[in-house]
Amino acid sequence: MCYLLRMKNASYGRIAFGAAAVLFGVIALMWHDAETWQNLVHIWSLPLGKVIGECLMAAQIAGGIGIVYPRTARPASVILGVVYLCFSLACVPDIIAATNVYDKYGCSFFMFFSFFCGAIALYAASEADAARALAFGRVARVGLGVCTISFMLGQALLLRETAGAVPKWIPPSQMFWAIATTVAFGLAAGAILLNFRARQATRLMTLMLGLFGVLVWIPHLVAHPEAHFNWSEFALTFLATGAAWTVSEVKSA
C-alpha cells in the first residue's frame, strides 16, 4: 500500500515519461530510418537486428503504458529499464569507433542512460522495502548526476550549435541562453551528485528540459512536421524530462 501512495504522488512525472516512451516507440515503428532511430540504428546490424529493434520498441510502448498505472508500474519499470539499458549499450560501438568525438557520448550513450536512471527511479518508487527503495533512489540520482555532467559538456563543446537551436525571438540573445543553460546543467550536476538540494536542482532541470521541448522542438514540428528528426528529438527531449522528473520524486538520502 505504501508504494502505491508513492507512485500516486509521482503521477505527473510517470505520465510524462510514459507518454514520451510511447511516442518514441510509435514513431520508431512507423519510420525505419536513421533520422528517427538515430544512434539506435546499430541495433539493425545485429543478427535479426530489425526484429530485435522492433521488439525493443514494442516493449518500450508497453512499458510506457504500464508505468502510468500504479498497479502495473513495477513490472513496467523493469521493462523500460531493460529497454533503455539495451539502447545505451547500442551506442557503445559508436564510442569505440570515435573515442575523440564527444557527441557520441553526450548525445547518445548518456542520453539513453538518463532514461535508464528514470526507470530505476520508477522501480524505487514501487519498492515496498524502505531501505531498498532508498538504495535504488540513490543509484538513480547519482546516475542522473553523471548524465547531467555529460549534458553540460555536450553543450559547452558545441556552444555555437546550441545557440543556433535557441529561438531568435527570446531576449537577450541566443548565445546568452546557450551559456546560461550550460551553466545551469553544471550547477544541477553538482547539486545532484553532492546531494545538496538535489531534489530542487532536479526539478529545476526538469523544468528547463521541458522548456527545451516546448520552445525549441514544438516550433520545429509546426514548421516541418514531415521531418522525422524533429519528431525523434521532441520525443527524446520529453523522455529526458520525464526521467529527471521521476528521479526528483524518489528519496535518495
Q: What is the pLDDT of residue 138?
A: 97
- List the chain domain ranges: 2-248
Residues 4-54: tens digit of each pLDDT: 445 554 478 999 999 999 999 999 999 999 999 998 998 998 899 999 999
Whether the CB-CB separation of 125 and 3 falls below 8 Å is answered with yes
pLDDT interval class at 251 (50, 70, 90): confident
Q: How far apart are CA 156 and CA 154, in angstroms?
A: 6
pLDDT interval class at 106 (50, 70, 90): low
Q: How far apart are CA 244 and CA 204, in angstroms?
A: 9
State the SS3 of the chain: CHHHHHHHHCHHHHHHHHHHHHHHHHHHHHCCCHHHHHHHHHHHHCCCHHHHHHHHHHHHHHHHHHCCCCCCHHHHHHHHHHHHHHHHHHCHHHHHHCCCCCHHHHHHHHHHHHHHHHHHHHHHHCCCCHHHHHHHHHHHHHHHHHHHHHHHHHHHHCHHHHHHHCCCCCCCCHHHHHHHHHHHHHHHHHHHHHCCCHHHHHHHHHHHHHHHHHHHHHHHHHHCCCCHHHHHHHHHHHHHHHHHHHHHCCCCC
**In the structure grid, which three cell numbers stand for residue 142, read together?**
547519482
For residues 76-80, give the mean pLDDT.
97
For residues 210-224, give the mean pLDDT.
95
